[in-house]
A and B are shown apart, each in its own frame.
Chain A
Amino acid sequence: MTVTDRPADRDVAAARREGAGLGLVGVYGVSFGAVAVSSGFEVWQAMVLSLVGFTGGSQFAYVGVVASGGSPVAAAASALLLGARNTLYGLRLSALLPRSPLPRAVAAHLVIDETTAMALRHEGRDPTGAAARAAFWASGAVLFATWNVTTLLGALGVQALGDPRAFGLDAAAPAAFLALLWPALRRRLGAAVALAAALTAVTLSLVAPPGVPVLAAGLVALVGLHPRVDATGRAGPA
């Protein structure tokens, strides 16, 4: 462990640690691997979805629709509906990601819920963006590794890891998102947007297909169109 003196270095080290810790949530891949194979997919197909698709919810949606007798087109549509929020995350993270094409294309692959939340949490603390970038890459790299290794184990029928739900891992991701949202919730506008989005999503989940509730809740952010709402989430001068 390096000794760090400057506050910025400490922020970066802390961001990297938190990011790597969050990455461990990726062991949920064991569920995906097991579900995919028990739904009739080959091991290599589960791996293509995890390695190339790499966006948890969409992958579960794809194999779920196919397993319930849906057509591959319906399955793809359902997956892409869930994956559409990654496009929106990319817009928000754009300025933090590398500019040269190849590193940027690699970074794009890691733009998912967890890495976005992690990067934004640290962006608020360190205006240079160094901590946010460290959090993004650390959480992305560890998630990618754990998600793919455990997908393979689950697909190969390795039961030794057990059911992630027995360890409460299905509560870990929502709690992580809540923790990452926490600073925003202490601002009035942030709390109002979060509450409105949560209510929208729960209401729509009664009637809309998976993916739609979260995407539609994103429309709440359009409150930012009002010019008196500033980018830090506080109401501007009257």
Chain B
Amino acid sequence: MSGVGVVATAVALYLQKLLGVSVPQAVLDRAWIRRVLALLPVALLSALTVVQTLDSPSGPVVDARLAGLAAGAMALALRAPFLVVVVVAALTAAGVRALI
């Protein structure tokens, strides 16, 4: 396995992060950029939530992860603390997976 490719990719992944925090604040303070940036994490994290719940090498699938996420959503609706929500989701997914 090529070590050069591994090191170059790892460094490039860091540089991607560095790039984001290197944009001058004056640019970020423009009104339209502020409005877009305020919504950006909501869009990205919402997309990430569904992709991580459904994705598989062969396209979207419904499995124990969705049961876990649904249980987590119920815990949220009941105003459970953050870490309880995460644990409820994990335990539900583990339980469903053990049963099927």
Partners in one complex: yes
CA distance A18 to B52 in the complex (A): 21
CA distance A222 to B38 in the complex (A): 10
B: number of interface residues (CB 8 Å): 73
**Which residues does chain A contribute within 8 Å of B59, judged by CB atoms?**
205-206
For chains A and B in complex, what number of residue pairs have CB atoms within 8 angstroms?
Answer: 304
Interface string of B33-51 (1 = CB under 8 A from A): 0111111111111111111
Q: Given A45-B3, A176-B86, A221-B39, do A205 and B20 touch, yes or no (CB 8 Å)?
A: no
B residues 32-75 near A (Cβ < 8 Å) are: 32, 34-55, 59-60, 64-65, 67-69, 71-73
Once the chains bind, are A94 and B23 in contact (CB under 8 Å)? Answer: yes
The stretch among A4-12, A126-134, A150-158, A178-186 that forms the contact with chain B is: A178-186
B56 to chain A, nearest CB (A): 10
CA distance A62 to B10 in the complex (A): 10
**Which residues does chain A contribute within 8 Å of B93, judged by CB atoms?**
168, 170-172
CA distance A11 to B88 in the complex (A): 24
**Which residues does chain B contribute within 8 Å of A206, judged by CB atoms?**
59-60
CA distance A200 to B76 in the complex (A): 24
Once the chains bind, are B20 and A108 in contact (CB under 8 Å)? Answer: yes
Cβ of B100 under 8 Å from chain A: no
CA distance A41 to B40 in the complex (A): 35
Q: Given A72-B2, A224-B32, A225-B35, do A97 and B43 touch, yes or no (CB 8 Å)?
A: no
Closest A-chain residue to B12, C-beta based?
Answer: A80
CA distance A215 to B43 in the complex (A): 9
Cβ of B99 under 8 Å from chain A: no
Once the chains bind, are B9 and A179 in contact (CB under 8 Å)? Answer: no
**Which residues does chain B contribute within 8 Å of A86, judged by CB atoms?**
13, 16-17, 20
* Sampled A-B contacts (24; CB under 8 Å): A21-B86, A41-B1, A75-B5, A83-B17, A90-B18, A92-B41, A107-B21, A109-B14, A121-B82, A168-B68, A168-B90, A168-B97, A170-B93, A171-B67, A171-B90, A171-B93, A179-B72, A190-B39, A193-B43, A196-B43, A202-B60, A221-B44, A224-B32, A232-B38
What residues make up the interface of B, taking CB atoms closer than 8 Å to A?
1-3, 5-14, 16-23, 25, 28, 31-32, 34-55, 59-60, 64-65, 67-69, 71-73, 76, 82-83, 85-95, 97-98
